[in-house]
């Protein structure tokens, strides 16, 4: 028994109280690092709960303003917008129309809340009749033709007040194309948040219900990344940085923490992580069944993403986290 008194390293010493645990915490999570997604639907007085995403809604602009205001009240200052138009066509023309749903929303949001950060998703999938992320020819995505449309969409969003543009379609060369487009049209200081490593994930299902963006045929594996690949993610990120990305993103977050961590040790610009709809819905569903504690699981999820190296997190839990961590 004499060996027991010779234990030198007693790790429990620094876990003995909440104050001490907080003092020695290696990772700090704050609502300042969170970005709240908003789904904006054409129409008026619309508030439709997304069945697979409890407490998340499709909102018309009037109700989106109320949702943003309630998020601001608990300390959320950054938002990303996704549009659900009232009509779709082969090239997603409502994505770059001056009276498009996000263009109208931007003008109203910036008028009412000029000091918040409003990021706009840049993709065609919500706007095309076929549900794919660009121009389709012979059932394949035409990368270069899509770049031209994305430039039009991006300029329209920038002109209507977007604070940051987030290309999400994994279209080759999109960051360079946008950077030249912005620089040539008076938007040299507009930042680009690139979905640099977006995996062809099974965790997007609830989002596709929310954004009404399910592909009409096939899938997106030809332009989104293979979940098996890490080196490819690093290559994609480095390429986007060389093209002028200001922030790079890994999507999804939870299944790709190793990718986030590896990049944290390799690059020197901010890393965003998208905690996607499937991650949110799993916790909500398990909590509803009484299998896990929602608040604890939410905190652990977000903390793990931050610990892996993310500088900011897009999350449907943003408002809930802020309410619970005032």
**pLDDT tens-place string over residues 110-143:** 999 999 999 999 887 778 766 566 677 776 777 8
How far, CA to CA in Å, does 17 sit from each of 20, 28, 34, 299? Answer: 5, 17, 28, 19
Top pLDDT among 241 and 89 is at: 241
So where are the chain's domains? Answer: 30-324
The string of DSSP letters for 6-73 reads: G----GGGGGSSHHHHHHT-S----GGGEEEEEEEESSSS-EEEETTEEEEEEE-HHHHHHHHHHHHH
Model confidence at 232: pLDDT above 90? yes
Contact criterion met (CB below 8 Å) for 64 and 107:
no
251 labelled catalytic: yes
Residue 67 to residue 37: CA distance in whole angstroms: 11
* Residue 88, both tokens: 């779709």
The answer to whether domain 30-324 has CATH 3.20.20.70 is yes
Mean pLDDT of 85-108: 83
Which pTM was predicted?
0.90
Q: Which of 316, 312, 318, 31 is nearest to 166 (CA)?
A: 312
Please classify residue 208 by burial: count the beta carbons closer than 10 Å to its beta carbon, then call 0-12 exposed, 13-18 middle and 19+ buried.
Answer: middle
Top pLDDT among 135 and 53 is at: 53
Mean pLDDT of 275-303: 95
Top pLDDT among 273 and 16 is at: 273
Helices (H) then strands (E): counts for the chain: 11, 12
pLDDT at residue 5, rounded to an integer: 64
Selected catalytic residue, list 88, 251, 284, 319: 251
Residue 162 to residue 158: CA distance in whole angstroms: 5
31 labelled catalytic: no
List pLDDT tens digits, range 307-321. Answer: 999 999 999 999 999
Selected catalytic residue, list 41, 88, 198, 284: 198
How far, CA to CA in Å, does 200 sit from each of 205, 222, 227, 239? Answer: 11, 9, 7, 19
């Amino acid at each position: 028994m004499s060996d027991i008194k010779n234990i030198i390293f007693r790790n429990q010493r620094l876990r003995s109280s909440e104050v001490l645990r907080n003092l020695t915490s290696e990772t700090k999570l704050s609502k300042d690092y969170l970005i709240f997604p908003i789904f904006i639907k054409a129409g008026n007085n619309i508030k439709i709960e997304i069945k697979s995403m409890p407490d998340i809604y499709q909102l018309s602009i009037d109700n989106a303003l109320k949702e943003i205001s309630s998020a601001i009240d608990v300390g959320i200052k950054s938002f990303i917008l996704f549009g659900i138009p009232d009509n779709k066509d082969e090239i997603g023309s409502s994505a770059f129309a001056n009276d498009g749903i996000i263009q109208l929303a931007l003008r109203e949001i910036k008028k009412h809340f000029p000091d918040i950060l409003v990021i706009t998703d840049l993709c065609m999938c919500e706007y095309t009749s076929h549900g794919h992320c660009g121009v389709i020819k012979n059932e394949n995505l035409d990368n270069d033709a899509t770049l031209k449309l994305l430039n039009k969409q991006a300029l329209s969003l920038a002109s209507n007040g977007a604070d940051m543009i987030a290309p999400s379609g994994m279209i080759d060369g999109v960051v360079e194309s946008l950077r030249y487009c912005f620089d040539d049209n008076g938007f040299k200081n507009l930042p680009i948040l690139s979905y640099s490593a977006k995996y062809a994930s099974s965790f997007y299902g609830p989002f596709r219900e929310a954004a009404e963006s399910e592909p009409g045929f096939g899938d997106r594996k030809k332009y989104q990344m293979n979940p098996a690949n890490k080196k490819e993610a690093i290559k994609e990120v480095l390429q986007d940085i060389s093209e002028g990305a200001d922030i790079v993103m890994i999507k999804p977050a939870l299944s790709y923490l190793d990718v986030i961590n590896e990049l944290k040790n390799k690059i020197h610009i901010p890393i965003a992580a998208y905690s996607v709809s499937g991650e949110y819905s799993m916790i909500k569903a398990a909590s509803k069944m009484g299998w896990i504690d929602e608040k604890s699981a939410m905190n652990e999820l977000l903390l793990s993403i931050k610990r892996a190296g993310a500088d900011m997190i897009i999350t449907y839990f943003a408002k809930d986290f802020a309410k619970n961590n005032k």
